[in-house]
A and B are shown apart, each in its own frame.
Chain A
């Protein structure tokens, strides 16, 4: 009891404190949108960021891991905890009739029916309390308990974030088709880092059984970008109709899929084809389809010796002065606009990297190289001998997620019930005045679906 009378405790139990700290957190968030979170200070300087000193002092590129943010969030967390505790005490203490019962409606009672029966049997109310002064009945889910429950949900969310903050880590792994990999993360959670606990190898292996790339044929429209021409088309002043065209580069990624097989103790354990939005969950770790890596073996003038090249990286080819970049290796299946599918003839775009006068590099497209044919660059015929696609999986361990699911659903459901569903409380008393019984009542409602006037009308109807 003692502590509940202290100044600090009272501050923590106050709604104004919540508003203040919600406001302070918003300011943190705002600053966080101005500085690229997770960014690198070098990149920040390179890209022309102006507040280098501030960024360095306050750790603004990792603002949400700074002690200042943490303390602010923690105060709100304690605030929610104490508020919920206080509310709980209030809710479980006995319901009292408002000291002064001020009826807002007076209704003539003409029925022989017991008034309690009207509320309970006819109108579906529950009796909560009654004494000599008046009786209280209520209908609907208690809005106070619902409010309390979603605040508890918010409280649990904070614990979920905290678990993520302490324990979560993520990393990446690249696997080639038919390769089986054991995985040793190079990163670990904050707490493990703090106690210098080394990451452990996962107790299972992953094999990439197959990697699948699929594309949609994407037509683009012939439609002007400038506003006046668009207006002119709308007004019919420009005769050129809008058209859809299929261009050479109208490949739009449809899906990347990895068929993964998990082996535990060298025995088959699990198989799943993953794609973006469809991760593999195994052993507490979630594996996501993140990206892919494409490798080529290039031949020059049909020489049997092939040169390794990676797509999107500069390659030096013997006999060719400028370096070369291969881009957009297309393999897999194309889903065409007319509903048919087609195996893509593998091809890659070839760019020559030229040095310009001011030592900058410029890429110039040399052409498209198809599997089975060749492209001539600086008098050399280059061709593709082989290509390979590896999947890049990102994986993550995050023990906060299950709790967040639970808490999030709890918040949503109870908040929706609180806000939308109807709740009524009626306090009433029957008075005799000049020999005629009068029903006097006051009504309170919550929830957007509650219809106060409608409920009073129904009471009147049964009182007739």
Chain B
């Protein structure tokens, strides 16, 4: 009986890994095509990239459901699982935000680059085994905390990508260069506004992420805030995005200063997600425990 269960699980995991590799490859193909569009300037290539990305995202959604079935629980426990969710949610958010932007494909480059990298990092360096939930994770908060916090991450990825495209193209428009990747003086500000709207959308999610994390820690460890590096980085990210939103309400700061806050917010978010361990190692600094998720 036990043997049958174990070999069934191994079989399912093998299938999952194979599909996940294909999906990572799919993100790579999209990245290649978005790059090709950058050089060839052919909209047909940009359209192909977007079309294929839709296919990859649908397949990835199916894979996440497959993992849910395989593990018999929400698939957000290990870093392997959250990387997969991150890759998927960033790409779907991009597709949703870009649906109105016919002929603008540049933001696809950073997004698919991140989705591919996150998938490859999960596949190459993390343990894919389905593991039971450890006692601290057995909480009502756990799933909501991870799902919503990671959704906000995805939104910030896309917002930052749009911000970068804006900063790249705006000077070209001012110089009067002829081809500007689908953007012109009429539509670039509306395009740019999408990045603000995305942060606006993500900020309450991030706020919920920090709040639910604290509420959870209060139940599990008996203290809602311990200044653990991971917690603290999430607070930095939150604060920087609050600075961005405020800068956007000051007319003089709406331009470059606000853009810088947005990009800084993205960097802080990546630090919260992955960089915490890395920084501690880099500086040779002893760090408190760091959560697995």
Contact = CB atoms under 8 A, between A and B. Distances in A.
B204 interface: yes
A36 B231 CA distance: 12
Contacts of B221: 288
A246 B125 CA distance: 23
Nearest to B17: A234
B18 A419 contact: no
B211 A252 contact: no
A37 B228 CA distance: 7
Interface stretch (A13-21, A98-106, A183-191): A13-21
A338 B222 contact: no
Given A29-B239, A50-B284, A246-B6, A419 B222 contact: no
Contacts of B253: 19
A126 to B, nearest CB: 25
Interface in A402-435: 404-405, 408, 411-412, 415-416, 419-420
Given A252-B131, A255-B135, A419 B204 contact: yes
Contacts, number: 180
B6 A219 contact: yes
B124 A223 contact: no
A256 interface: yes
Nearest to B240: A26
A337 interface: yes
Interface stretch (B108-116, B167-175, B244-252): B244-252
Contacts of A141: none
B19 to A, nearest CB: 10
Interface residues of B, number: 69
A57 interface: no
A33 B132 contact: no
A18 B246 contact: yes
A1 interface: no
A252 B135 CA distance: 10
Interface in A224-243: 227, 230-231, 233-234, 241-243
Contact of A242 (B10, B215, B242, B287): B10
Contact of B222 (A253, A288, A408): A288
A36 B250 contact: no
B1 A338 contact: yes
- Chain A contact residues, majority secondary structure: mixed
A230 B121 CA distance: 12
A242 B227 contact: no
B135 A275 contact: yes
Contacts of A338: 1-2, 5
Given A170-B222, A243-B6, A396-B222, A252 B132 contact: yes
B136 interface: yes
Given A29-B236, A37-B288, A38-B288, 12 more contacts: A18-B246, A26-B236, A33-B279, A39-B288, A48-B286, A220-B129, A221-B10, A223-B127, A227-B124, A253-B135, A408-B214, A420-B204
28 contacts: A19-B250, A22-B246, A26-B236, A33-B236, A33-B276, A35-B285, A36-B286, A50-B285, A221-B127, A221-B129, A241-B14, A242-B17, A243-B7, A244-B6, A244-B13, A252-B132, A254-B135, A256-B135, A276-B136, A276-B220, A277-B135, A290-B222, A337-B6, A394-B222, A401-B224, A405-B215, A415-B203, A419-B201
Interface of A: 15-16, 18-19, 22-23, 25-26, 29-30, 32-39, 43-44, 47-50, 64, 170, 216, 218-221, 223, 227, 230-231, 233-234, 241-246, 252-256, 275-279, 286, 288, 290, 336-338, 394-396, 398, 401, 404-405, 408, 411-412, 415-416, 419-420, 448
